[in-house]
């Protein structure tokens, strides 16, 4: 892998040194990455409907490897990434991709973004190989699996909070808007639109189950088949009895963009919230002006602080002005955590090296890691990440559940919550200002 990053260039003006790089530099000392390469792998959706994210997952791992190698790799051994395409992310495809990484390249770790639908199938392949697995499937199923057999799944880590925190966080966020009088509900109705599948359903169900506590009446609660380009029937139901808030827990960017285009043909005076999908640039590219005013959230993404903005700059210099750094930071963050832990543990472990990989896993569990997306701190039982402010009250001890608003589709969304990370104020959407 050709790298244009060297130690001197990395150190020069790098805000990352105070966070991720400092620990690795301390472990590496004066070592230079000149030893035998360490193979690491990624199984990502590089083609098909999730390719916009998958390409960025690949880019994030590439950039992390280049930066880590510039600082001496892992105790003098450079990282060498290998990639396999999971396409539509079916169970069989996911398993085959991960198995190829292990069988062909003997990777010491698999560092993914997400592969929705993989569940325990991929986890079992990783467990059989006895290596470290860092991923962002954003599933409460991960924690349940690890808790069911912590010795078998010792090396599996979800580097963001579970999806249920989307629901809890949204209800608290809406209350905060009402508390500071940024938003006043015209009625108590909340529409929830979800796609079939565990991920979107878990988020929707968490919102629905907690809505009454915050004074919301849920109607309609409608499941749509995806991918979807025609939202007419769903929008017709919403327009018959306009709710104060429309919650969409489906996450495909192109589908969500079509929702907004068709919604804006005859908008209702409703706040529109979506999860994750609008963080992908293709959402704004497709929706155009129809995206302005949308509120969305993500439980993982680059912060708009010194460290996050420096990362964004480096990322776009490396991959182009339109590169999606918020998606890329997922695997970037996972790679830095794993590499730091491996260096502190005295080296990485190849497949079958149970003793060394358990040392690496122990180091990962003990880290409180400040990266571009805030604090990564793993729960002891489930080995997923604490969420702030839903799971913990201290912003230094949990990954922030970020709420953003697209106020001008021609630029990056504005981070509006949570404190102290918010950089802009919420604005009433243009269709509600009339």
What pLDDT band is residue 10 in, cutting at 50, 70 and 90? low
In percent, the amount of the chain with pLDDT more than 90 equals: 88
Check whether 198 has a pLDDT greater than 70: yes
- Are 174 and 138 within one domain? no
Taking the C-alpha atoms of residue 268 and residue 287, their distance in angstroms, rounded to an integer, is 17
Which of the four pLDDT bands, split at 50, 70 and 90, describes residue 1?
A: very low
Q: Which residues contact 151 (CB under 8 A, 6 or more apart)?
A: none
Q: Are residues 294 and 316 in the same domain?
A: no
172 lies in the same domain as 143: no
Confidence (pLDDT) at 2: 44
Is 408 in the same domain as 283?
yes
Pairing of strands 295-298, 402-405: antiparallel
Q: What is the mean pLDDT of residues 228-243?
A: 96
Q: Does residue 107 share a domain with residue 37?
A: yes
In this structure, the answer to whether residues 216 and 321 fall within a common structural domain is no
Confidence class of residue 187 from pLDDT cuts 50, 70 and 90? Answer: very high
pLDDT per position as a tens digit, 125-140? 999 999 999 999 999 9
Residue span of the structural domain in which 144 resides:
7-162+303-388
Compute the average pLDDT of residues 221-249.
96
Q: How confident is the model at residue 22 (pLDDT cuts 50, 70, 90)?
A: low
Residue 393 in domain: no
Q: Which residue has the tokens 């490396």?
A: 318
Number of domains making up the chain: 2
Note whether residue 342 is domain-resident: yes
Least confident interval from 119-123, 199-203, 276-280, 304-308: 119-123
Q: Report the alpha-carbon distance of residue 41 to residue 59 in Å, rounded.
A: 13
What phi and psi, each to the nearest 5 degrees, are found at residue 219?
-175, 125
The predicted pLDDT at position 120 comes to: 79
Give the CA angle between residues 79, 85, 89 to the nearest 5°: 125
Three-state secondary structure of 360-387: HHHHHHHCCEEECCEEECECCCCCCECE
Residue 229's CB is within 10 A of a number of other CB atoms, namely 12
Alpha-carbon distances, residue 310 vs 17, 195, 211, 278 (angstroms):
11, 35, 38, 22
One domain for residues 317 and 339: yes
Angle between helix 232-240 and helix 253-263 axes, rounded to 10 deg: 50
* Gap between the Cα atoms of 127 and 119, Å rounded: 13
* Residue-averaged pLDDT of the chain: 93
Q: Report DSSP letters for 225-264, one per residue.
A: -SS----HHHHHHHHHS--SEEEE----HHHHHHHHHHHT
Q: How far apart are CA 16 and CA 425, in angstroms?
A: 27
The answer to the question of residue 48 being in a domain is yes
Asked if the structure places residue 187 within a domain, the reply is yes
pLDDT class of 18 with cuts at 50, 70, 90 = very low
Least confident stretch, 40-44, 94-98, 118-122: 118-122
Query: Using CA atoms, how far apart are residues 290 and 271, in angstroms rounded to an integer?
Result: 13
Q: What is the pLDDT of residues 322-375, one digit of tens each?
A: 999 999 999 999 999 999 999 999 999 999 999 999 999 999 999 999 999 999
**395 within a domain of the structure (yes/no):** no
Q: 213 and 285 in one domain?
A: yes
Cβ–Cβ under 8 Å, residues 239 and 220? no
Same domain membership, residue 414 and residue 274 = yes
Measured CA distances, 231 to 168, 225, 338, 351 (Å): 26, 11, 42, 47
Q: What is the pLDDT of residue 413?
A: 97
pLDDT band at 29 (very low <50, low <70, confident <90, very high): low
Question: DSSP state, 37?
Answer: P
pTM of the model: 0.92
| Per-residue pLDDT tens digits for 76-86 | 999 999 999 99
Provide mean pLDDT across the span 411-433.
Answer: 96
Residue 62 has pLDDT above 60, yes or no: yes
Distance (Å, whole) CA 170 – CA 193: 14
136-to-13, 116, 301, 334 alpha-carbon distances in Å: 29, 9, 11, 9
Q: Which CATH number fits the domain that encloses residue 244?
A: 3.40.50.2300
Same domain, 263 and 288: yes
Residue 193 pLDDT: 98
Q: Which of these, 190, 201, 307, 292, lies nearest to 245 by C-alpha position?
A: 190
Cα 355 to Cα 433: distance, rounded to the nearest angstrom:
61
Q: Say yes or no: 213 and 241 in one domain.
A: yes
Domain for residue 236, yes or no? yes
In a domain, 394, yes or no: no
Domain assignment present for residue 261? The answer is yes
pLDDT of residue 8: 62
Indicate if 103 and 195 belong to the same structural domain: no
What is the model's pLDDT at position 35? Answer: 86
The per-residue pLDDT for 433 is 83
Q: Cis omega (within 30 of 0) on the bond before 227? A: yes
User: Are residues 405 and 301 in contact, defined by beta-carbon separation less than 8 angstroms?
Assistant: no
Give the count of alpha carbons within 13 A of 35, CB side only: 13
């Amino acid at each position: 892998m050709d790298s244009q990053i060297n130690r001197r260039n990395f150190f020069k003006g790098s805000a990352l040194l105070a966070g991720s790089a400092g620990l690795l530099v301390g472990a590496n000392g004066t070592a230079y990455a000149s030893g035998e390469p360490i193979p690491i792998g990624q199984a990502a959706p590089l083609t098909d409907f999730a390719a916009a994210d998958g390409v960025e997952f690949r880019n994030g791992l590439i950039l992390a490897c280049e930066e880590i190698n510039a600082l001496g790799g892992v105790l003098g051994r450079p990282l060498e990434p290998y990639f396999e395409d999971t396409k539509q992310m079916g169970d069989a495809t996911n398993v085959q991709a991960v198995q190829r990484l292990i069988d062909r390249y003997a990777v010491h770790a698999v560092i993914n973004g997400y592969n929705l639908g993989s569940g325990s199938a991929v986890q079992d392949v990783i467990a059989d190989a006895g290596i470290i697995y860092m991923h962002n499937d954003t599933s409460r199923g991960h924690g349940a699996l690890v808790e069911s057999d912590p010795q078998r799944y010792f090396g599996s880590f979800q580097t963001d909070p579970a999806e249920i925190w989307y629901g809890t966080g949204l209800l608290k966020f809406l209350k905060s808007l009402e508390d500071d009088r940024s938003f006043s509900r015209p009625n108590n109705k909340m529409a929830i639109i979800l796609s079939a599948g565990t991920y979107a359903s878990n988020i929707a169900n968490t919102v629905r189950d907690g809505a009454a506590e915050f004074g919301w009446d849920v109607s309609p609660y409608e499941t749509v088949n995806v991918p979807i380009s025609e939202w007419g029937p769903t929008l017709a139901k919403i327009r018959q009895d306009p709710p104060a808030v429309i919650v969409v827990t489906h996450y495909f960017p192109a589908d969500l963009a079509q929702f907004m285009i068709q919604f804006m043909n005859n908008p209702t005076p409703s706040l529109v919230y979506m999860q994750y999908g609008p963080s992908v640039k293709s959402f704004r590219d497709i929706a155009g002006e129809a995206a302005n005013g949308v509120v969305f959230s993500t439980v993982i993404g680059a912060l708009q602080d010194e460290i996050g903005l420096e990362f964004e700059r480096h990322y776009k210099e490396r991959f182009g002005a339109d590169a999606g750094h918020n998606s890329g930071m997922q695997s970037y963050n996972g790679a830095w955590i794993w590499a730091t832990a491996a260096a502190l543990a005295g080296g990485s472990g190849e497949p079958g090296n149970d003793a060394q990989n358990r040392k690496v896993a122990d180091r990962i569990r003990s880290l409180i890691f400040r990266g571009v997306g805030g604090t990564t701190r793993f729960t002891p039982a489930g080995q997923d990440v604490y969420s702030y402010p839903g799971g913990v009250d201290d912003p230094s001890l949990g990954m922030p559940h970020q709420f953003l608003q697209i106020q001008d589709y021609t630029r990056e969304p504005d981070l509006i919550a949570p404190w102290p990370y918010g950089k802009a104020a919420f604005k009433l959407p243009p269709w509600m200002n009339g």
